[in-house]
Structure 1
Amino acid sequence: MTVPIAIIGAGIAGLSAAQALQAAGQTVQVFDKGRGSGGRMASKRSDAGALDLGAQYFTARDRRFVEQVRHWLDEGSVQAWKPQLYNYRDGVLTPSPDEQTRWVGIPRMSAITRGMLGDLTVSFGCRITEVFRGQQYWHLQDADGCNHGPFSRVVIAVPAPQATPLLAWAPKLAGIAAGVQMEPTWAVALGFAEPLQTPMQGCFVQDNPLDWLARNRSKPGRDEHLDTWVLHATSDWSRQHIDLPKEQVIEQLWGEFAELVGCVVPAATFSLAHRWLYARPAGNHEWGSLADPDQGLYACGDWCLSGRVEGAWLSGQDAAKRLLSHLD
């Protein structure tokens, strides 16, 4: 009997690890508490079309990831986004000279992880609350009290605060994960019946409750009947207003947006807010992934590296590589 490997988390890191392990001939089973793949790459379907509320775009610098992006490009699941970018500082809007290549999923960010699922065995809507060891193998318990297993090894690919209790059988790894601070982000989407009279398609914001804003439908492959915008608040503002009702979050960030965008902003015909409790790690790390090979317990995620989409993918690759190197 082949005892599969369990992977907890169907974001970029978990699916990167799953793909690498499956390509090496391993049997894997993926679990995710969400209704679909993507984690913070997920897109939200709404009355205004699909909205990228989490990761807005990604860049590719590492040779291995550049190669992966080229593969996604050939598949048709990503495309370059070349927005008219601006900077906003001290009340002044200026065009950004930034020439960085930015990539987005087509027709939404979640298309990338949806493509990565392939023929993987995935259990969605299954929140794993405990990872424990039997006499020989690992078992998982979910929020409904159901047990899953046996598994030969477990890869935990969720944000560090959620990974910490799942790493209880590897106290050293749990301690490292517990020391990682993750920053929150409030995201707001606004839709307008008439296009706003601005050439701006993306903006980096300084000294303001807002950190970033994007014209969602300026991204390739988006077919939207409204002029949709996604606003991200800063980590500081989000932390200070973490429990603010969504209506007030929308109202306050709409006000900041209306003030800086440089044109008349009518009332939105559509709005929603989403709170990312663990949007990004507060700092960069050089771990690649965490491993207790004797136990067969591994952890990966953007928090093990750069905090970027690229970091998440590379961390999943690293976890798979370390796991494979310790197979009998």
Structure 2
Amino acid sequence: MSAPIAIIGTGLAGLSAAQALHTAGLAVQLFDKSRGSGGRMASKRSDAGSLDLGAQYFTARDRRFMETVQQWQARGWVAEWDPQLYNSREGRLSPSPDEQVRWVGTPRMSAITRAMLGALPVHFSCRITEVFRGEQHWTLQDAEGQSHGPFSSVIIATPAPQATALLAATPKLASAAANVVMEPTWAVALSFATALDTPVEGCFVQDSPLDWLARSTSKPGRDANPDTWVLHASSAWSRQHLDLGKEAVIEQLLGAFAEMIGCAVPAPSNALAHRWLYARPASGHEWGALADADHGIYVCGDWCLSGRVEGAWLSGQEAARRLLEHRRE
């Protein structure tokens, strides 16, 4: 019986790889520093219900991913979101002609990764700090000094800066990951006791500290009360205000929101801020996944492809494919 495969990170890329390997009959063990799965597709519970603070929706263009999303839809994990979409430029709102199909997890974004995880063995609240190889196998060490292993292969499915730190044993892969720039995003959720008097349900914003906002309550499967909105600051604004206190972030982004939404905005009944340090890659790559197959170490994530949700899923599939291919050789 060969040793299991370790997968570090239970965002969409890690779970995509885990599912493909599990389906192929291989044993996997997952690790995540957070208390639950989802990575940037995680949802945060709050007094206003469950909030999607990271990925707001996703699109499907690749045939394989489209087929998978249709399976998810049949199982009730996702639904189409067809918001009243707007653009805001120089403070002026105009309807967006964008026709693409947008998907969301139901009743929250993290429903997808939670369902994918299923009963796979996972260690949550376990931050892996080191990955090292003996003669035959890999061992992981966590922040508490505990060792985990032996593992036949390791798949690292974290944002590039975190992956870089875990790739000390493979300098070539470490240097590829180290060259990837990830952009931060401040996210703010606002709840209003009375629904705001605006038709806007989603908006792409320019010339503002914001670059996106969504009326969460317009997504399928969400509670309609209270009226809850998620705002994403632009990468540039987030970079400039990386260490700003959460109260100040809420105040500034609420101000930008009130200025552009075109209706009266009362004080929110509830507000929270979350900083995504590694929200998205600054540019796309065409790697699919990174691999040192001879040593059994693989890296996947949205940053290995398009930076989109679809890219994360495809990258996980590619890491699993390369691992399985190497086993067959």
Same fold (TM over 0.5): yes
Deviation at 1:170, TM superposition (A): 0.7
Higher mean C-alpha deviation, range 100-109 or range 216-225? 216-225
State the alpha-carbon separation in 2 of the partners of residues 249 and 135 from structure 1.
50
Residue in 1 aligned with 2:309? 309
Q: Which aligned runs of 4 or more in structure 1 are off by greater than 4 angstroms?
A: none
Deviation at 1:247, TM superposition (A): 0.2
Pairing 1:253–2:253 present: yes
Q: Which amino acid aligns with 2:100?
A: Q
Residue in 2 aligned with 1:218? 218
DSSP-derived class of the 2:327 partner: coil
Cα-to-partner distance string for 1:78-137 (whole Å, 9 max, x where unaligned): 000000000000121001111110000000000000010122111111110000012211
State the alpha-carbon separation in 2 of the partners of residues 260 and 280 from structure 1.
25
Higher mean C-alpha deviation, range 116-125 or range 181-190? 116-125
State the alpha-carbon separation in 2 of the partners of residues 209 and 93 from structure 1.
16
Deviation at 1:222, TM superposition (A): 0.3
Residue in 2 aligned with 1:14? 14
DSSP-derived class of the 1:326 partner: helix
Residue in 2 aligned with 1:39? 39
| Aligned ranges 1:171-210 → 2 under 5 Å | 171-210=171-210
Residue in 1 aligned with 2:294? 294
Deviation at 1:225, TM superposition (A): 2.3
Q: Which amino acid aligns with 1:250?
A: I
State the alpha-carbon separation in 1 of the partners of residues 90 and 268 from structure 2.
26
Residues 217 and 225 in structure 2, CA contact (< 8 A), matched pair in contact too: no
DSSP-derived class of the 1:318 partner: helix
How many corresponding residue pairs?
328
Deviation at 1:207, TM superposition (A): 1.2
Q: Which amino acid aligns with 2:10?
A: A
Residue in 1 aligned with 2:82? 82
State the alpha-carbon separation in 1 of the partners of residues 48 and 80 from structure 2.
23
Cα-to-partner distance string for 1:288-322 (whole Å, 9 max, x where unaligned): 00000111000000000000000000000000000
Residues 202 and 212 in structure 1, CA contact (< 8 A), matched pair in contact too: yes
Residue in 2 aligned with 1:71? 71
Unpaired stretches in structure 2, ≥5 consecutive residues: none
Higher mean C-alpha deviation, range 115-124 or range 99-108? 115-124
State the alpha-carbon separation in 2 of the partners of residues 21 and 274 from structure 1.
33
State the alpha-carbon separation in 2 of the partners of residues 220 and 14 from structure 1.
26
Cα-to-partner distance string for 1:211-236 (whole Å, 9 max, x where unaligned): 00000010000014210000000000
Residues 49 and 224 in structure 1, CA contact (< 8 A), matched pair in contact too: no
Cα-to-partner distance string for 1:258-298 (whole Å, 9 max, x where unaligned): 00000000000100000000000000100000000111000
Structure-1-length-normalised TM-score? 0.99
| Aligned ranges 1:155-170 → 2 under 5 Å | 155-170=155-170
State the alpha-carbon separation in 2 of the partners of residues 6 and 263 from structure 1.
51
Unpaired stretches in structure 1, ≥5 consecutive residues: none
Residues 158 and 301 in structure 2, CA contact (< 8 A), matched pair in contact too: yes
State the alpha-carbon separation in 1 of the partners of residues 226 and 149 from structure 2.
47
Residue in 1 aligned with 2:269? 269
State the alpha-carbon separation in 2 of the partners of residues 118 and 229 from structure 1.
30
Q: Which amino acid aligns with 1:204?
A: F
State the alpha-carbon separation in 2 of the partners of residues 138 and 253 from structure 1.
45
Deviation at 1:140, TM superposition (A): 0.2
State the alpha-carbon separation in 2 of the partners of residues 266 and 27 from structure 1.
53
Q: Which amino acid aligns with 1:244?
A: L
Residue in 1 aligned with 2:118? 118
State the alpha-carbon separation in 1 of the partners of residues 325 and 170 from structure 2.
19
Cα-to-partner distance string for 1:174-194 (whole Å, 9 max, x where unaligned): 000000000000000000000
The alignment's C-alpha RMSD in Å is 0.6
State the alpha-carbon separation in 2 of the partners of residues 251 and 40 from structure 1.
24
Residue in 2 aligned with 1:228? 228
State the alpha-carbon separation in 2 of the partners of residues 248 and 162 from structure 1.
28
State the alpha-carbon separation in 2 of the partners of residues 53 and 162 from structure 1.
21
Deviation at 1:165, TM superposition (A): 1.1
